[in-house]
Amino acid sequence: DTGVSQNPRHKITKRGQNVTFRCDPISEHNRLYWYRQTLGQGPEFLTYFQNEAQLEKSRLLSDRFSAERPKGSFSTLEIQRTEQGDSAMYLCASSPVPGQGWNEQFFGPGTRLTVL
């Protein structure tokens, strides 16, 4: 197991284009999270899945953003009609379902999006 992987690592696009990112979690991790990190800020929560169900979405996730996790395995995050303000690092994390208490989230390397 090589950990959480994300593709692509970098994406440059023109304003108005659609982009899609992929996240492959650690196998058998039931939970998958998406965060966005802009320059000089900590990661901000976007959404999370337990298996294939999307259980929570942040207000940051406008209607141009959509996330899916078909079959509870990998996840995709699509941004439609990109804007310059969407430029950020998009981080994916996964965690097992804990028996009790806390759960460690394992982060991927991120996809850096630049919107020109």
Partner 1 sequence: AQTVTQSQPEMSVQEAETVTLSCTYDTSESDYYLFWYKQPPSRQMILVIRQEAYKQQNATENRFSVNFQKAAKSFSLKISDSQLGDAAMYFCAYEGGGSNYKLTFGKGTLLTVNP
d(CA 36, CA 34) in angstroms, rounded, equals 7
Q: Which residues inside 66-95 make contact with partner 1, applying CB under 8 A?
A: 91, 95
In this chain, which stretch among 17-25, 64-72, 74-82, 102-110 interacts with partner 1, using CB under 8 A? 102-110
Contact call for residue 21 and partner 1 (CB under 8 A): no
Is residue 104 involved in binding partner 1 (CB under 8 A)?
Answer: yes
Which of 2, 27, 40, 53 is close enough to bind partner 1 by CB under 8 A?
A: 40
Q: Nearest Cα to 34, choosing from 88, 89, 87, 93?
A: 93
Q: How far apart are CA 14 and CA 4, in angstroms?
A: 28
Strands (E), 1-116: 5-7, 10-13, 19-24, 31-37, 44-50, 53-57, 65-68, 75-79, 88-95, 106-107, 111-115
Q: Which is nearer to partner 1, 80 or 106 (CB)?
A: 106
Residues near partner 1 (CB under 8 A), total: 25
Residues engaged in binding partner 1 (CB under 8 A) = 3-4, 31, 33, 35, 40-45, 48, 56, 58, 91, 95, 101-105, 107-110
